[in-house]
Amino acid sequence: MKKRKIGMAMALIAAAGTILSACGSSDKANGSGGDKKFTVGMVTDIGGVDDKSFNQSAWEGIQAFGKDNGLEKGKSGYDYLQSKSDADYTTNLNKLAREHFDLIYGVGYLMQDSISEIADQRKETNFAIIDAVVKKDNVASLTFKEQEGSFLVGVAAALSSKTGKVGFVGGMESELIKKFEIGFRAGVQAANPKAAVEVKYAGGFDKADVGKATAESMYKSGVDVIYHAAGATGTGVFTEAKNLKKEDPKRSVWVIGVDKDQYAEGQVEGTKDNVTLTSMVKKVDTAVEDLTKKAKSGKFPGGKTLTYGLDQDAVGISDHKENLSDDVIKAVNDWKKNITDGLDVPSTDKELKTFKAE
């Protein structure tokens, strides 16, 4: 009798073990581990995935990774969520974490607080933030030396301007966007100490109407080259420049694009004219693809800040140089060599005050 009870007990234990084992296998299939492919997600800031700027560039990096690894868009491969307002950041990050993405990107410094909050709540998930630093073990921070690339387009602006007046339009005034502004002003100063730089901030990265109005005011004041670091707000700058060029094809009016090569944005419809002087290219796509590969191979640099500059060929001017003279191109290349040889480009007002271009 006792032997029969012991035998039944052992059978029950074995059955329970089989059930638990099956549950464990199911969890692995739906979560992380097993044969599950590495998945990567991204949350845009309010500029949107097609902002022709750094959101779009980051998404292109993720798409390239997906293509190289045989992934498809969706929960089992790579995907993005678009934020319509600041309030969406935390919600969207949390949604991707609940869907078990292995790596989740937050694009832009405006997501710094949201990434920090969700990283604490979802410690089993790896996150990455672009253009800001979050010091958490499960967060990698991607930053760039925007001041170096901005310096080069500042040189191009100063030497291409016929009026000696150039402009800078920023999205929101912040430590990050100041790097663009200060680097640009330093480049202008280095190339032409007598040139004047007019600076305006739009108060947002999704205000094309404000960008257009700001550009209109600047061009009326005699500015003939505007560098924008304003995301989708910058489309308004391009719109105003193209309108002016269409009205008067002989007028010298230029825009310097940002983050991506924005040459196509400067094409004046129905003409052969293009108002894009050059663009400050920031290779967010390259950095994103690089980090995602590291994460997939088990080398996720959690808690670390990765910085990309001229030395890594991560910032610079675009390949489209049709609207730059040979002398300007030579000057830009000379200054690029000075920077890679050790010239420290300022990134703050304080540093700019003591900056000497030598």
What pLDDT is recorded for position 320?
94
Residue 17 has pLDDT above 50, yes or no: no
pTM: 0.82
Domain boundaries, the chain: 40-144+286-296+300-308, 147-282+325-353
Looking at every residue in the chain, the average pLDDT score rounds to: 91
Residue 12 has pLDDT above 70, yes or no: no
The region, left, alpha or beta by phi > 0 then psi within -120 to 50, assigned to residue 117 is: alpha
Task: Pick 356 or 40 by higher pLDDT.
Answer: 40
Contact (CB, 8 A) for 48 and 55: yes
Q: How far is it, in rounded angstroms, from Cα 163 to Cα 196? A: 9
Please state which CATH number belongs to domain 40-144+286-296+300-308. 3.40.50.2300
- Percent of the chain topping pLDDT 70: 90
The tokens for 296 are 């997939």
Residue (of 107, 38, 122) closest to 298 by Cα position: 38
- Fold agreement (40-144+286-296+300-308, 147-282+325-353): yes
Q: Which CATH number fits domain 147-282+325-353: 1.20.1290.10, 1.10.3720.10, 3.40.1080.10, 3.40.50.2300?
A: 3.40.50.2300
Q: Flag the least confident range among 34-48, 97-111, 180-194, 251-265.
A: 34-48
Indicate the range of 32-41, 157-166, 175-184, 317-326 predicted with least confidence.
32-41
Q: What is the pLDDT of residues 248-301, one digit of tens each?
A: 999 999 999 998 899 999 999 999 999 999 999 999 999 999 999 999 999 999
Q: What is the pLDDT of residue 47?
A: 82
